[in-house]
Amino acid sequence: MTTMKAPPFLEIANRVKMHYPQKKDFLRFVIDYIQNPSREKGLCMPMAFKRFGTMPPIGKNMSDEEKKAVAEYLYNLSKNRGMCPANGGK
């Protein structure tokens, strides 16, 4: 695990979903956060910030459509957790 550069996407998605269970709020948070990340706004555990730091503002160079796609992907990832595509979600 020493090669990890960031927390796993599923963990991030689940943390955001705990704080923002409504889809519109989830999407709004992710879209804002990927443009203007900060430790103050972050939802990761303190140990994650200590290990990985704050993410770079990747959303600043994305179109609105791309930012929404990232947010939708994270939302759907958290919604489908526990499903295994290899065996049809069973």
pLDDT tens track for 30-82:
999 999 999 999 998 889 999 999 999 999 999 999 999 999 999 999 777 65
Residue 81 has what pLDDT?
61
Q: Is residue 57 part of a domain?
A: yes
Q: Is residue 37 part of a domain?
A: yes
Q: Is residue 30 part of a domain?
A: yes
Q: Is residue 2 part of a domain?
A: no
Q: Is residue 85 part of a domain?
A: no
Structural domain harbouring 46: 9-79
For the chain, how many structural domains are there in total? 1
Please, where are the H alpha helices in 1-90? 9-19, 23-35, 46-52, 64-79
Cβ atoms of residues 78 and 17 within 8 Å: yes
Q: Which two tokens stand for residue 44?
A: 């990761």
Cα–Cα distance, 82 to 78 (Å, whole number):
9
Q: Is residue 86 part of a domain?
A: no
Q: Is residue 44 part of a domain?
A: yes
